[in-house]
């Protein structure tokens, strides 16, 4: 145990020194375009329902997915082939899919965008399929694009003799430049003489520094912070002059304030992500476990030949209690969370134990960070 404690102490000392160097380094400057976005300039989500054909026997089982059969009948009716609605189609090469896409800002009619195709039914694979013409609608129900093309599926699979092997995911694919924009969404660059920049994260210090940089480079009074997230900028109203002005503004360098210390924990996967601002106060961490094992065996009691007794079955239970030796780890103030995670892992803590320890550190006030569980 002394050997483990010595190694833990050396890890804590080395990593704490490294953290001190990182924290003392100045925050690098970033462009305004990386810190903020122009208010009103945004993507719009599109969605559509369609069919993928040309599959090699890996499509939907139409007896279990009636919407696939109905879609095929409706599509053939539009193409001039009428089938009775009561007819049962046994098709294996067709799959019903949902098609999604992002309509970028300033998209023009005729521009091509990428689409993602995902299976809706019980198809086994979309590999080798072709999406037939599918209208893409926005939140208002209007058609903004038409999608069609051959799918690119990154996975692969094979089956034989009741066995099946799959690499990656076969029920979703992508079509590069698979949709054509049919309707434009008007995008306004500001309101009257103003343009509003929205920071990615609310930070009053960064907003003030952004105002100072813009006023220094573009003229005093050009920018004004409305709150910790929105900065209002006076811009020329003539379109070409406004575009040139925005091109200059978004490439200005701003040195942002330090980020908030945060720890993200995913208990399902046991993963922990933290930023460099996370520190700890002096604390002690103890880890131990108690396990109770109960084994029950069936035994037969056989009497002597002349005793006149009867043969009976009995149960014999063996109860064993195990308690591993707990270890107490001292953590110095200023040590980073990565030091503690490595040290606790060296003690044999499972991911769930580590999550409990972090929550206890937060409750004790030793963890100087926001703990977020996803």
Computed over every residue of the chain, the mean pLDDT equals 80
Q: Which has more pLDDT, 188 or 103?
A: 103
User: What is the rounded distance in angstroms from the CA atom of residue 139 to the CA atom of residue 47?
Assistant: 9
Percentage of residues of the chain with pLDDT beyond 70: 72
Per-residue pLDDT tens digits for 68-96: 888 888 888 888 888 776 566 778 899 99
The pLDDT value recorded for residue 23 is 41
pLDDT in tens, 252-289: 999 988 778 888 888 777 777 878 777 777 777 766 65
**Own/partner long-range contacts of 333-336 (Cβ < 8 Å, ≥24 apart):** 333/280, 333/281, 333/282, 334/16, 334/19, 334/20, 334/279, 334/280, 335/12, 335/15, 335/16, 335/19, 335/279, 335/280, 336/15, 336/16, 336/18, 336/19, 336/276, 336/278, 336/279, 336/280
pLDDT at 279: 77
**Domain positions in the chain:** 2-25+261-295+317-373, 44-181, 188-254
d(CA 115, CA 126): 14
In this structure, of 11-25, 137-151, 163-177, the range with the lowest mean pLDDT score is: 11-25
Span 214-244, pLDDT tens digits: 999 999 999 999 999 999 999 998 989 999 9
Residue 336: the pLDDT is: 64
352-369 tens-digit pLDDT: 777 777 888 888 888 888
What is the model's pLDDT at position 190?
75
Name the percent of the chain lying above pLDDT 90: 39
First to last CA, the chain: 35
pLDDT of residue 55: 93
pLDDT given for residue 289 in this prediction: 58
User: Residue 4 above 60 pLDDT?
Assistant: no
> pTM (2 decimals)?
0.67
């Amino acid at each position: 145990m002394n050997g483990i404690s010595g190694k833990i102490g050396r890890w804590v000392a080395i990593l704490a020194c490294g953290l001190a160097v990182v924290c003392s380094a100045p925050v690098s400057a970033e462009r305004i375009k990386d810190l903020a976005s122009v208010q009103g300039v945004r993507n719009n989500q599109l969605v559509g329902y369609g069919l993928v054909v040309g599959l090699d026997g890996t499509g939907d089982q139409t007896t279990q997915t009636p919407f696939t059969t109905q879609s095929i009948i409706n599509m053939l009716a539009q193409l001039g082939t009428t089938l009775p609605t009561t007819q049962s189609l046994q098709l294996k090469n067709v799959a019903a899919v949902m098609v999604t896409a992002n309509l970028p800002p300033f998209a023009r009619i005729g521009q091509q965008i990428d689409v993602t195709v995902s299976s809706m039914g019980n198809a086994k694979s979309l590999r080798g399929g072709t999406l037939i013409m599918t209208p893409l609608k926005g939140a208002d129900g209007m058609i903004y694009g038409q999608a069609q093309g051959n799918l690119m599926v990154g996975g692969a699979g094979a089956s034989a003799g009741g066995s099946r092997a799959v690499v990656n995911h076969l029920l979703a694919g992508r079509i590069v430049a698979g949709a054509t924009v049919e309707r434009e969404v008007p995008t306004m660059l500001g309101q009257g003489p103003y343009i509003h920049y929205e920071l990615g994260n609310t930070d009053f210090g960064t907003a003030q520094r952004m105002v100072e940089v813009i006023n220094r480079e573009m003229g005093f009074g050009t920018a004004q912070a409305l709150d910790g997230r929105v900065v209002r900028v006076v811009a020329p109203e003539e379109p070409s002059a406004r575009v040139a002005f925005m091109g200059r503004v978004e490439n200005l360098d701003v040195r942002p304030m330090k980020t908030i210390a945060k720890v993200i924990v995913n208990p399902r996967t046991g993963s922990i992500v933290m930023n460099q601002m996370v520190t700890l106060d002096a604390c002690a961490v103890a880890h131990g476990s108690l396990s109770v094992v109960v084994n029950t065996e069936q035994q037969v009691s056989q009497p002597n030949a002349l005793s006149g007794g009867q043969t009976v079955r009995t149960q014999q239970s063996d109860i064993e209690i195990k308690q591993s030796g707990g270890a107490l780890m001292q953590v110095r103030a200023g040590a980073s969370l990565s030091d503690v995670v490595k040290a606790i892992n060296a003690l044999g803590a499972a991911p769930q134990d580590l999550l409990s320890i972090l929550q206890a550190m937060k409750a004790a006030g030793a963890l100087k960070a926001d703990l977020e569980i996803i």
